Amino acid sequence: HVRAMASYKSTLRFCPTCNNSNWMMGKNETMELVFKCKVCNWVEVVDMQDDPDADEPKKMEDLCCYRHDVLFVAKESIITNPDVVHDPTLTRIYDYECHICLNEEERLRNMG
């Protein structure tokens, strides 16, 4: 079975002891993946194996400990307003040498 992580939604888990949703994923002393309640310190070991008697394989969302969806990556797509050079609140670098035109005029910091 091919499982695409992009199709899964995050799930909200509740502690079986205190019914709180402040779960965090981590490792225990034996380096097993566990869910731990931040309120009552209940620890639940995550079963990584598929159940042979189950009709469906284990869902990837149950095994995922971290997911980072990158929606905006390309720095080239960042558009800077031309009037930003007149903003006196932005920090400036005065000893900057442009690698393209070799100009040494002041440059706004972090503006590319």
For residues 107 and 50, the model is more confident at 50
CB-neighbour burial class of residue 91 (10 A; exposed 0-12, middle 13-18, buried 19+): exposed
* pTM > 0.85: no
| Domain edges within the chain | 79-108
Segment 2-27 mean pLDDT: 68
Q: With contact defined as beta carbons under 8 Å apart, do 34 and 25 qualify?
A: yes
Label residue 112 by pLDDT band (50, 70, 90): very low
Per-residue pLDDT, 12 = 73
Q: How many CA atoms lie within 13 A of 38 on its CB side?
A: 7
Q: What are phi and psi for residue 24, nearest 5 degrees?
A: -135, 150
- In tens, the pLDDT along 26-79 reads 767 777 778 888 888 888 887 777 666 766 666 665 666 666 666 665 655 667
Say what the alpha-carbon torsion angle 9, 23, 43, 45 is, to the nearest 10 degrees: 20
- Judge whether residue 93 has pLDDT over 50: yes
Scan for tokens 């990556």, then name that residue: 73
Q: What does 19-41 look like in DSSP terms, one character per residue? A: ----EEEEE-TT--EEEEETTT-
Per-residue pLDDT, 1 = 41
For residues 109 and 51, the model is more confident at 51
